[in-house]
Structure 1
Amino acid sequence: MNIKITSGENIMQETEEPSVKITEELNKDIENLALNIRGFIKSQISGFKKKGAVLGVSGGIDSAVALTLCVQELGKEHVYGLILPEKESAPSSKVLGAEICESLGVAYEEVPISPIVESLNIYEKKEQVIKRACPEYDPAIHKTSLIFPDFLDQELLNVPYIRLIKDGETVGKYRLKANDYLELIGLQGVKQRSRMIVQYMYAEKMNYAVCGTTNKTEVALGQFVKYGDGGVDLEPLADCYKTQIYALGKHLNINDEIMRRPPSADTWSHYTTDEEFYWRMPMHIMDQLLYSQEHDLPPGVISENTDLSTDKIEKALKHIRRIKNTTEYIRAVPPVYYLNR
């Protein structure tokens, strides 16, 4: 509460402290943010003594923003794009990836990772797990996605489900056992790790650094694969919430189709958004909650920004803390044992 003396009076009056507008705070001074990230990219590439940067280009907003900033700072001749589809990727991913590379004049190459994934029998193993959970599953007619119940509407436990889709319609939803869920996560992680193998193969051949595209929302929630999309040389977006990535995209004039595309890891045959799987709530709500935790904002301010009840805010923040705790090992640097210390 701020205290002030009214002019001409000796009376102390209380005035309410201005409310914090979280989204406005996140999105302010985006032009300067872009310049600072560009400077970070340049200093890291120079410090590594590399000639440029390799990026995996997915057709999503994160890689589009990272690619654009790299081109602006390093020049298009020092940036190389890799489009790394597999047979369960959405067709639009490689189309949009190619479009953003071409619009920036960046040399790029499409390197399908399906042969790597198939060599480890990942698709067949995945089908076996899904069939255990979903007896009616037929890979010839069904697409699949892994989802969690919406947290804000249902406030349910972290119970994962496999969803079967036929002709664009959901025809079944089956709860996964813990062991089946863990196996599926392990199998899916092979895709991101395969992509990183390819990126480093090209980066080392060209004497380039591998530039990551993970944002702050993903870092906070452990929403990346260790030694997959998390195994890079530099992470220029890792201190930018997803909300800020979209603001950067608007500032950088990123393709409208990419801007409108729902964020996704794009590793399931049915396009599964991050809101359905990782966040369990709308992106703007998740970012405001994470920002509130970071800045220790009171429940009243959070409620004013999110339109959530105090009870729902308390449960959501507890849910986020639990996610952070269980994914701490993903963010951690591997412990090293030292002799004689």
Structure 2
Amino acid sequence: MKIIDEINKDTEENASKIRTFIKDYVKDFKKRGVVIGVSGGIDSAVILALAVQKLGKENVYGLLLPEKESASSSKELGARLCDTLGVSYEEVPITPILEALDIYGKKEQIIKRTCPEYDPDIHKTSLVLPSLLEDNMITIPSIRLVKDGEIVSKNRLKAKDYLELIGIQNVKQRSRMLVQYMYAEKNNYLVCGTTNKTEYLLGQFVKYGDGGVDIEPLGDCYKTQVYALAELLDVDREIIERPPSADTWSSYTSDEDFFWRMPIDIMDQLLYSQEHELPVDVIKENTELSEETINKAKRGIAKIGKASKYITSNPPICYLEK
């Protein structure tokens, strides 16, 4: 049994179901179309293409939402994708919102406390976590300083600073969602999300940020399936080959360095095997990992899932007796 083949066996059918899902909910919610935040990444590219195929380009609106730490390629690839598909779009920088809340200043203070050598004029920064496949399972996050494309230092964050930093960074996704809803409500459109199943299972989204949407067409598609959809839809090769990232750090940080902490094909095979209760021998044969490493990775994934439970669940309601 090839796990990757099992994951990707119904790509054309998946594309058809997603297209129908988008159209059905636009109709059910009595909306005219969808707004999509176009990041230059593979998830939004796949959703944009499928939405255009089912709703028509005139009923799809793209938003480019850069800020000063975004990679320039994000905006360029997003704009090129919209132009290729004939989708109307607008660029709305969120930097003024973040500056008004002093997000950059607060972030810089934490980095300077962690990295005394940090110089914002010469260093770019990223937040990383150790691999779940390494022998050392210590999950202490680190700030990485990059100069002229080379990593020059890596300093561990204190727990308090890490929590503050995550809260600061999450304002970026929440600011983007504010803008998307402003445009959606103005045009009587739905806000169409781009979170996939891998991200959902890991809690890899920001509550009321990129997770605060009206519909999630990719919510039952592993990231591996999104890549298969991109190939089917003939998405721009540069987008397909670009390392996925939340794109919120000045040094472009891939999801593999922080969220997945392992190659995506390994992560998806582990998640799929967990969902389908596959025996460890099948996992070993497919991933070429030892049983010890597989068990370590599974414990790490379980820990991530437990920590993100509040993100993936709806707000609890206090029900009163009638």
Shorter-chain-normalised TM-score: which range? over 0.9
Is the counterpart of residue 326 in structure 1 residue 300 in structure 2? Answer: no
Q: What residue in structure 2 maps to residue 61 of structure 1?
A: 42
CA deviation string 1:149-202 (max 9, x = no partner): 122134322110000001111111000000000011000000000000000000
- Equivalent in 89, 99, 107 of residue 126 of structure 1: 107
| Structure 1 equivalent of residue 142 of structure 2 | 161
- Secondary structure in 2 matching 1:338: coil
CA distance in 2, matches of 1:79, 1:336: 35
Out of 244, 248, 254, the position equivalent to 1:273 is 254
2:134 counterpart SS class: helix
C-alpha distance in 2 between matches for 1:229 and 1:102:
23
Distance in 2, matches of 1:235 and 1:214, equals 7
Q: If the length of structure 1 is used for normalisation, what is the TM-score?
A: 0.93
CA distance in 2: counterparts of 1:226 and 1:158, whole angstroms: 22
Aligned to 2:33: 52
Sort the Cα spacing of 1:297 and 1:155 in 2 relative to 1 into closer, same or farther, 3 A. Answer: farther
The alignment covers a number of residue pairs equal to 322
Note the alpha carbon deviations across 1:318-338, whole angstroms, 9 max, x for none: 111111111111010101123
Choose which of 93, 102, 117 in structure 2 pairs with 1:112.
Answer: 93
Residues 25-174 of structure 1 aligned to structure 2 (within 5 Å):
25-174=6-155
Structure 2: runs of 5 or more not aligned? none
Identity across aligned pairs (percent)?
A: 67
Paired amino acid for 1:85: P
Task: For 1:48 and 1:297, locate their aligned partners in 2 and report how far apart those are by CA, in whole Å.
Answer: 39
Partner of 1:315: 296
Aligned to 1:206: 187
Q: Show CA shifts across 1:196-226 (max 9, x none).
A: 0000000000000000000000000000000
Higher relative contact order (CA 8 A, sep 6+): 2
Q: TM-score, normalised by structure 2?
A: 0.99
SS state at 1:135 partner: coil
- Partners of 1:338 and 1:27 lie apart in 2 by 42
The equivalent residue for 2:229 is 248
Residue aligning to 1:189: 170
Please identify the structure whose Cα radius of gyration is greater: 1
CA contact (8 A) 2:132 2:296 kept: no
Partners in 2 of 1:314 and 1:156 — Cα distance?
12
Give the distance between the partners of 1:82 and 1:111, measured in 2 at CA.
7
What letter corresponds to residue 267 of structure 1 in structure 2? T
Aligned AA (1:119): A
Report the AA paired with residue 311 of structure 2: I
- Residue by residue over 1:292-318, the C-alpha shift from the partner in whole angstroms, topping out at 9 and shown as x without a partner, is 100011100000110000111111111
Q: State how far apart, in whole Å, the 2-side matches of 1:154 and 1:99 are.
A: 42
Aligned mates of 1:217, 1:90 — CA distance in 2: 23
Is the partner of 1:152 in helix, strand or coil?
coil
The equivalent residue for 2:214 is 233
Residue 250 of structure 2 aligns with an amino acid whose one-letter code is S
Amino acid at match of 1:313: I
* Structure 1 residue ranges, 4+ long, deviating more than 4 angstroms after superposition: none
Give the AA of the match of 1:189.
N
Instruction: Return the letter of the residue paired with 1:105.
Output: G
Instruction: Tell me which moved more, 144-153 or 295-304.
Output: 144-153
CA contact (8 A) 2:224 2:265 kept: yes
Letter in 1 for 2:143: I
What is the root-mean-square deviation of aligned Cα atoms in Å? 0.7
C-alpha deviation, 1:339, in angstroms: 2.9
Q: Is the 8 A contact 2:130 2:257 kept in 1?
A: yes
- Return the alpha-carbon distance in structure 2 between the equivalents of residues 222 and 55 of structure 1: 20
CA distance in 1 between partners of 2:231 and 2:312 (Å): 29
Question: Within 2, Cα distance between the matches of 1:155 and 1:119?
Answer: 41
Distance 2:50 2:236 in 1: 14
Q: 1:205-264 deviations in whole A, cap 9, x for unaligned?
A: 000000000000000000000000000000000100000000000000000000000000
- Partner in structure 2 of residue 259 of structure 1: 240
State the partner residue of 1:298.
Answer: 279
